[in-house]
Structure 1
């Protein structure tokens, strides 16, 4: 089960795992949300940036991982030869993470995953 959070308060009170995702445009919001997480929080943060030069490490609780997704080293849609469009890498990362970390069975998965998505994350990424 997923709980879609619209603000930091919902995420900071999450009892289960958290998933935060956005692009460089959402970096300040993501940092603010991460700062509210409890020390025992667990989950994943995905941040898509134009290039590795835009990576600015952040401190997180021990069981929260941050993955930086540089667009300039990723391809767009398979077989097109196009560059990665803004929001494309983070949407793929969300779908892959949910596919790996969730069976779709609440009894097996346990606590709900609290999800916060930046405004520029493609809407189809939220439909995983």
Structure 2
């Protein structure tokens, strides 16, 4: 079962896996949400930033992993030669993670997935992801 959290409080109350996805514009809110997660939380945080110079480590519970996605070292659409647009790397990362970590069947997955997506993430890139 997938739950898309529109409020940060829903993520703090999640009993299964968590997924947070946002850009540099969502960092303050993401940090606040992560601070509410319990020690038993498990899941993934994706943060897309303009460059590696914008990475500012985030403390998380032990079973929550943070992956930083720097746009300046990624490309846009395959074969286009274009730069990575804001939200593009994030959409690919979320799509890959959900595809790898979830079948969509509670019987196989074992528990639910509660996801939160930052307000600054263009919907066009996440529509393909989930």
Matched, 1:10 2:10: yes
Q: Tell me which residue corresponds to 1:80.
A: 80
User: Can you list the C-alpha shifts for 1:41-92, whole angstroms capped at 9, x where unaligned?
Assistant: 0000000000000000010000000000000000000010000000100011
Q: Tell me which residue corresponds to 2:60.
A: 60
Contact 1:46-1:69 at 8 Å conserved across structures: yes
Structure 1 residue 122, shift from structure 2 partner: 2.8
Q: Following the alignment from structure 2 to structure 1, what is the Cα–Cα distance between the partners of residues 54 and 114?
A: 26
CA RMSD of aligned residues (A): 1.0
Q: Which blocks of at least 5 consecutive residues in structure 1 are unaligned?
A: none
TM-score (structure 2 length as normaliser):
0.95
Moved over 3 A (4+): none
Contact 1:91-1:122 at 8 Å conserved across structures: no
Q: Tell me which residue corresponds to 2:47.
A: 47
Q: Tell me which residue corresponds to 1:93.
A: 93
Q: Following the alignment from structure 2 to structure 1, what is the Cα–Cα distance between the partners of residues 31 and 50?
A: 18
Q: Following the alignment from structure 1 to structure 2, what is the Cα–Cα distance between the partners of residues 36 and 14?
A: 11
Contact 2:86-2:122 at 8 Å conserved across structures: no
Q: What count of residue pairs does the alignment treat as equivalent?
A: 128
Q: Which blocks of at least 5 consecutive residues in structure 2 are unaligned?
A: none
